[in-house]
Amino acid sequence: MPTAGRKSLTVALAGNANVGKSVVFNYLTGLHQHIGNWPGKTVEKAEGTLYFKGHTIDILDLPGIYSLSAFSIEERISREYIAIQKPDIVINIVDASALERNLFFTLQLLELETPMIVALNQVDVAEGKGISINVPELQKSLGVPVTPTIATRGTGLDKLLDKAVRIVKSKEKAKPARYGREIEEKIRRVTKLVEKIPIKYPPRWVAIKLLEGDEEIRGIVGGIDPKIVSATEKHARDLERIHGERCSTIITSERYNIANKISRGSQRITPPKGPTLTEKLDAVTTHPVLGYPVLVGVIFLTLLAVFTVGGHLSGFFEDVMEPVRGAFGGGAGELIGEGLLGGLIAGIAIVLPFILPFYLILTVLEDSGYLPRAAFIADSLMHKMGIHGKAFIPFILGYGCNVPACLGCRIMETERERTIAAFVVTLVPCAAVTVVVFGLVGAYVGIHWALSLYLLNLAMIFILGRVAFKVLPGEPMGLIMEMPPYRKPHARSVLKETWMRLKDFIYIAFPLIIIGSVVLTGLKVGGLLGPIGSAMSPVTVGWLGLPAIAGVLLIFGVLRKELTLVMLATLMGTANFATVLTPTQMIVFAIVVMYYIPCIATIAALVKELGWKKAAYITVFEIAFALLLGGIAFRLLTLV
Amino acid sequence: MITESTEEYLEAIYNLRERGDAATTTSVARELKVAPASVTQMLKKLAKRGYLKYTPYRGVTLTPKGEKTGKKILRKHRVMEKFLSNLGLPKSRLHRNACELEHHIPDDLERAIYQRVEGERPLPPGVPSNVVPLTSVLDGQKCVVSFIGGGWGASQRLADLGLTPRTEIKVVKSALFRGPLMVSVRGTTLAIGRGVAAKVFVKAE
Ligand SMILES: Nc1nc2c(ncn2[C@@H]2O[C@H](COP(=O)(O)OP(=O)(O)OP(=O)(O)O)[C@@H](O)[C@H]2O)c(=O)[nH]1
Ligand SMILES: [Mg+2]
């Protein structure tokens, strides 16, 4: 590092949640961080590299935070990173449409005394709210450079980077803002004490954190010199006597007063005539009564649209692909023709048609800002499962893919709530399951049956969520969430985001589909399918009433759930499933696929978030539950 | 004369309701950490005295009389918690000691302490204090943050999001089924769960 490091710079992007950090990151690095219009998408810091005017620049996208108190893991990680790892410069991304709240965080960054620059982002949104900002004035009040940007259009970002590099060269550091006289006096005294001890954080910042009663900093300083901690406590007590409030509240209020003064001094607001887009939409989507039918409508329209569009696309692809399959046949040709090509054709004809519209709609939903509204509406329902409304966001994301949804459960504050939320999320039928439900039940039994399975699924999730709550009891944390304004989804970003997701999907799923198909055909040619199938037949045939081959399919489905259907098509050499399964079998099969075992990638995500033990419990439970439900469904369906 | 345990029960039931949870024998028992059987007995007794309506296996609703007492005690509890926390007592003791004190603080003394905690000059005697939990502010109404119940993690988060004392905020709307409140603060909009909002004390305008 040191030799190459001469020209290499590190730049950290920091700021409140949902201000556009990841948009800036993606623009600069060409990478693909998750973007959407709800707070808390980036949960882990991401790194990327770019080359700019002869410099190698490492860029870091940090999770969004509102403060540098150690309230959440993200806050602790961010402050440690900025204060101790010391990036060459911090780019503070600020939402111009909520200046005061954003500056509250900027003031805290200034206290860390690193070189920094402010990107005044979302100026277009601010304009829409009738806010115009006087940049030179703001720059003067903050004492650090400010550059207006519109990240989604790339406006101002090159200039931002250019300025940032220049600041690094000039080695200018930010200077913290001053508080009121009494507080400043106390800070000065404590700073004097802190300056005498070796500590990696800036002394003034440590003094402020000590006065605020920050547990972590108190621990560190107390370990070096406990007298400083007790002296600070006395000062804090003095302040509390004067103000009649806790010292942390006094300092927070004071900081907000400064933020308020700066923002009032540098912005002019002419409230737009008539209600804004957000107000108009909120009148319906978070209406105390209408909000609920809207939520149900959104979910069902999504499913219906996916089914309709998917069905048409599927038929179209099949017609196009069918002649290709016929070209191979017999002997060694079978392995290639049936395995390789069959898998590929099935992947294109069965899987893509449903995945594509699904991803598109989910991306639009995510970008519009509807998800936080859904969380708001669903809060009281989620409380019945011992978690709060924010969990509804990963829940909806789970319909796309369970993996990011599991990781997204980190927006829940406690371990208990993360566990329940992640468990609930793994029960959500992802896009791959949708392929099976729509491609099989929807197409051959009827769309109302497919939709009923989704309804049943919602009911089961609710019941199992309540069971999980009973297993892990506790007072649910209350909901505290920012509601971002609605945004008209930007056509190009939506298409790009959908394409990126689709590409990820194709890169991961298609090799597996093809390899799986070849292995399966190999098993068939080798005569091994029979033995495997009959080994599992007590469960598959006896209990579930499925053909023996289902056992093999379910094993493949652990890799990816859509493989169950793709493999079936490969084996049968046709995508006309009516010839191999009865309607009852289709429904039972879809139910088992819906609930049994999270796929391998999801299990990995669970292990990462919750540890081995909980991941194993969830997996085993879901297998048992799927078999139970499938068996019951089989018996009920044969009754009627 | 109301007994201490009557007050405890009414407070617990009021608190459950304010948080948006149903008050049932089980939930009250959990709240007070006593056996459900003794809760059933006590609830019957309180029903007889006209503090609440009690249907076995269904739940409890407070009468206006019961609600008044429950609300008052809960308020005293929170004021005392805040007061003790200002005195610098460790978090672990706040709840316990406030639980003891809430039954012994006369109304006027509580008001005086509240005003001390608020850092304000005392109001003339007899003027009812107009501080209420955020949950009782009507939709569309503006109010000013007075204080946030002390001694719990989320209070710092709320302050970080801009809910500091003396800030003007507005309740935009509240969801049904005891759902969250939508509040506008410093040019942003927050969703705040009912349980959290119950601990935010405001002065209605
Ligand atoms: N109109 C407009 N929208 C923007 C701008 N910058 C970002 N956005 C939108 O704001 C939303 C949030 O952007 P992200 O980059 O995901 O935000 P983030 O800061 O990374 O958020 P977290 O990771 O959740 O902390 C997305 O919907 C973006 O399209 C801008 O300058 N103008
Ligand atoms: Mg991000």
DSSP result, A347-404? IIIIIHHHHHHHHHHHHHHHHHTHHHHHHHHHHHHHHTTTS-GGGHHHHHHTTT-HHH
Tell me what pLDDT residue A333 has. 58
Q: Is A289 within 8 Å of chain B by CB?
A: yes
Q: How far apart (Å, rounded) are the C-alpha atoms in residues A68 and A202?
A: 14
Measured in Å, residue A36 CA sits from the centre of ligand 1 at: 7
Cα angle vertex A550, ends A546, A555, to 5°? 145
**What string of DSSP letters covers A104-153?**
HHHHHHHHTT--EEEEEE-HHHHHHTTEEE-HHHHHHHHTS-EEE-BGGG
d(CA B1, nearest CA chain A) in Å: 33
Query: Distance from CA of residue A564 to its chain's centroid?
Result: 27
Q: Is B200 within 8 Å of chain A by CB?
A: no
Strand pairing class (B181-185; B168-174) = antiparallel
A363 lines ligand 1 (CB under 6 A): no
How confident is the model over A371-378, as a mean pLDDT?
Answer: 92
Q: Lowest mean pLDDT of A281-295, A315-329, A387-401, A623-637, name the range.
A: A315-329
Domain boundaries, chain A: 9-170, 181-269, 291-472+492-639
Residue B174 lies in domain: 130-204
CATH of the domain at B196: 2.30.30.90
In terms of CA atoms, which chain B residue is nearest residue A247? Answer: B86
Task: Judge if B120 and B134 occupy the same domain.
Answer: no
Tokens matching residue A31: 């990478």
Task: Judge if B122 and B141 occupy the same domain.
Answer: no
DSSP B159: H
Q: How far apart (Å, rounded) are the C-alpha atoms in residues A395 and A406?
A: 9
Q: Would you say A637 and A584 are in contact if contact means Cβ atoms under 8 Å apart? A: yes
Does A11 score more than 60 pLDDT? Answer: yes
Q: Is B193 within 8 Å of chain A by CB?
A: yes
Contact at CB, A481 and B179, closer than 8 angstroms: no
Q: How far apart (Å, rounded) are the C-alpha atoms in residues A173 and A116?
A: 7
Tokens matching residue A617: 């419990």
CATH of the domain at B38: 1.10.10.10
pTM of the model: 0.80
Tell me what pLDDT residue A304 has. 86
Cβ-Cβ contacts under 8 Å for B22 (sequence gap 6 or more) = B16, B59
- Which residue in this structure is represented by tokens 């507080």? A183
Tell me what pLDDT residue A344 has. 78
Residue B122 confidence class, pLDDT cut points 50, 70, 90 = very low
Does A335 score more than 70 pLDDT? Answer: no
Q: B143-195: per-residue pLDDT in tens? A: 988 888 755 567 888 999 999 988 999 999 888 777 899 999 998 999 998 88
Q: Would you say A582 and A382 are in contact if contact means Cβ atoms under 8 Å apart? A: no
Does A338 score more than 70 pLDDT? Answer: no
A557 lines ligand 1 (CB under 6 A): no
DSSP A244: S
A410 lines ligand 1 (CB under 6 A): no
Tell me what pLDDT residue A7 has. 66
How many inter-chain contacts (A to B, CB under 8 Å) are there?
A: 141
Q: Is B114 within 8 Å of chain A by CB?
A: no
Task: Judge if B138 and B198 occupy the same domain.
Answer: yes
Tell me what pLDDT residue A339 has. 67
CB atoms within 10 A of CB A192: 11
Q: How far apart (Å, rounded) are the C-alpha atoms in residues A462 and A457?
A: 9
Q: Could you identify the atom of ligand 1 that is nearest to the CA of residue A25?
A: 15
Strand pairing class (A267-269; A131-133) = antiparallel
Task: Judge if B18 and B31 occupy the same domain.
Answer: yes
The CA–CA distances, whole Å, from A584 to A567, A592, A627, A639 equal 20, 12, 15, 11
Query: Distance from CA of residue A114 to its chain's centroid?
Result: 29
Residue A368 confidence class, pLDDT cut points 50, 70, 90 = very high
Would you state the torsion angle of the CA atoms of residues B86, B88, B91, B92, taken in this order, to the nearest 10 degrees? -130
Residue A252: list chain B partners with CB under 8 A: 156, 159-160, 164
- Determine what percent of chain A is predicted with pLDDT higher than 70: 96
Q: How far apart (Å, rounded) are the C-alpha atoms in residues A193 and B83?
A: 30
How confident is the model over A532-544, as a mean pLDDT?
Answer: 85
Q: Is A238 within 8 Å of chain B by CB?
A: no
Task: Judge if B10 and B41 occupy the same domain.
Answer: yes
A425: number of CA atoms within 13 Å, CB side? 35
Tell me what pLDDT residue B123 has. 42
Does B120 score more than 60 pLDDT? Answer: no
Q: Lowest mean pLDDT of A1-5, A239-243, A562-566, name the range.
A: A1-5
Q: How far apart (Å, rounded) are the C-alpha atoms in residues A612 and A607?
A: 5
Q: How far apart (Å, rounded) are the C-alpha atoms in residues A263 and A253?
A: 15
Is A581 strand, coil or helix? coil
Give the total number of structural domains in chain B. 3
Q: Is A86 within 8 Å of chain B by CB?
A: no
A62 lines ligand 1 (CB under 6 A): no
d(CA B204, nearest CA chain A) in Å: 20
Q: How far apart (Å, rounded) are the C-alpha atoms in residues A328 and A175?
A: 73
Does A316 score more than 70 pLDDT? Answer: yes
CB atoms within 10 A of CB B76: 25
Average pLDDT of the residues of chain A: 86
Residue A383: list chain B partners with CB under 8 A: 20-21, 193
Tokens matching residue A112: 């860390």
Q: A133-183: per-residue pLDDT in tens? A: 999 999 999 999 999 999 998 899 999 999 999 998 888 788 888 888 889
Q: What is the 3-state secondary structure (H, E, C) of A56-93?
A: EEEEEECCCCCCCCCCCHHHHHHHHHHHHHCCCEEEEE
Residue A376: list chain B partners with CB under 8 A: 175, 179-180, 182, 191
Could you give the angle at which helices A612-639 and A415-426 cross, rounded to 10 degrees? Answer: 40
A292 vs A600, higher pLDDT: A292
Pick A376's closest partner by Cβ from B150, B175, B177: B175
Q: Is A67 within 8 Å of chain B by CB?
A: yes
Tell me what pLDDT residue B121 has. 45
Is B133 strand, coil or helix? strand
Q: How far apart (Å, rounded) are the C-alpha atoms in residues A543 and A154?
A: 58
Tell me what pLDDT residue A591 has. 93
Is B22 strand, coil or helix? coil
What is the rounded end-to-end Cα distance, in angstroms, of chain A? 71
Closest CA to B131 of B172, B170, B79: B79
Q: Would you say A59 and A48 are in contact if contact means Cβ atoms under 8 Å apart? A: yes
Is B52 strand, coil or helix? strand
Is A200 strand, coil or helix? coil
Q: How far apart (Å, rounded) are the C-alpha atoms in residues A119 and A493?
A: 21
Tell me what pLDDT residue A501 has. 83
- Which residue in this structure is represented by tokens 């298409």? A495
Closest CA to A403 of A607, A212, A585: A607
Contact at CB, A104 and B160, closer than 8 angstroms: yes
Q: What are phi and psi of A93, to 5 degrees?
A: -85, 125
Q: Would you say A205 and A112 are in contact if contact means Cβ atoms under 8 Å apart? A: yes
Contact at CB, B160 and A476, closer than 8 angstroms: no
Tell the CATH topology of A181-269. Answer: Helix Hairpins (1.10.287)
Write b or e for each residue in A14-28: b if 16 or more Cβ atoms lie within 10 A of its Cβ, otherwise e. bbbbbbbbbbbbbbb
Task: Judge if B122 and B158 occupy the same domain.
Answer: no
How deeply is B12 buried, as exposed, middle or buried, from its count of CB atoms within 10 A (0-12, 13-18, 19+)? Answer: buried
Q: Residues for chain B: how many in total?
A: 205
Q: Could you identify the atom of ligand 1 that is nearest to the CA of residue A150?
A: 31
Residue B126 confidence class, pLDDT cut points 50, 70, 90 = very low
Contact at CB, B178 and A380, closer than 8 angstroms: yes
Q: Would you say A381 and A469 are in contact if contact means Cβ atoms under 8 Å apart? A: no
Last residue of a domain, one of B28, B48, B66: B66
Look up the CATH number of domain A9-170: 3.40.50.300
Tell me what pLDDT residue A26 has. 92
Q: A47-97: per-residue pLDDT in tens? A: 999 998 888 999 999 999 999 887 777 888 888 888 888 899 999 999 999
Q: What's the helix, strand, coil split of chain A in %, to 5?
A: 70, 10, 25
Measured in Å, residue A459 CA sits from the centre of ligand 1 at: 34
